Structure 1
Amino acid sequence: MSMIQTGRLELSSQQPVETKSGNTSTFTQVDYPTPFPAGSTVIVQTTVQTFNGSDTPGIRLADVNETGFLIRINELYSTGNNGVQSDGTHTTETVGWTAYTV
């Protein structure tokens, strides 16, 4: 039997782009209203629901489990041919999330 939970939060970033794998010190903890059953495989999907900043926001997730997940917003980072790079900071956006078991 699958289980679905939803929510939304206001996220912003005043931190530089995180480029070191595994460093979640600037992430925000989100706890589900009701934990999923122990041993569940949980999938989390997110959507930025506002357009408050002119640059494209990126969403990073980490540590998705039965009780919650970590989330971070920052502007997209590119080292493409034109050398465009973001400083990582981004204004407040509303982010919706859906978590469900498979």
Structure 2
Amino acid sequence: MSMIQSGKLSLDSSQSTETTGGKTDTFKRVNFPTPFPAGSDVIVQVTVQTFNGPETPGVRLHEVSGTGFKIRLNEIYGGGISADGKHATETIGWTAYTI
């Protein structure tokens, strides 16, 4: 049986771009309102729902589990624009479900 949860959060990035894999001390922890059943395969999808900063925010996820996930904004490089990783507060919508 499938289970779906969703939510939104305000997220900014006051730190420079994180480029070291697995280094998550600048990530924010999001806990699901209701934990998924033990052993569930959980998928999390996120969408930036606002346009408050001029550079494009990239969203990184880590440690997705049955109880929640970690998330961070990282400005992305593109179009000749060099991003510093810091980004204004944006609203991020998320949906989590089991497969």
Q: TM-score, normalised by structure 1?
A: 0.93
Identity of aligned residues (%): 64
| Alignment of structure 1 residues 1-102 onto 2, 5 Å | 1-77=1-77, 82=80, 84-102=81-99
Cα distance in 2 for partners of 1:85, 1:69 equals: 28
Question: How much is the aligned-residue C-alpha RMSD, in angstroms?
Answer: 1.2
Show CA shifts across 1:45-101 (max 9, x none).
Answer: 0000000111100000000000000000121135x8x5x431100000000000000
Q: Give aligned pairs, total.
A: 99
Cα distance in 2 for partners of 1:77, 1:19 equals: 13
Q: Structure 1, unaligned stretches of length 5 or more?
A: none
Cα distance in 2 for partners of 1:30, 1:65 equals: 11
Cα distance in 1 for partners of 2:60, 2:77 equals: 12
Cα distance in 1 for partners of 2:40, 2:82 equals: 38
Cα distance in 2 for partners of 1:17, 1:60 equals: 11
Runs of 4 or more consecutive aligned structure 1 residues displaced over 4 Å after TM superposition? none
The alignment partner of 1:61 has SS state of strand
Deviation at 1:8, TM superposition (A): 0.1
Q: TM-score, normalised by structure 2?
A: 0.95
Structure 1 residue identity aligned to 2:61: L
The alignment partner of 1:2 has SS state of coil
Q: Structure 2, unaligned stretches of length 5 or more?
A: none
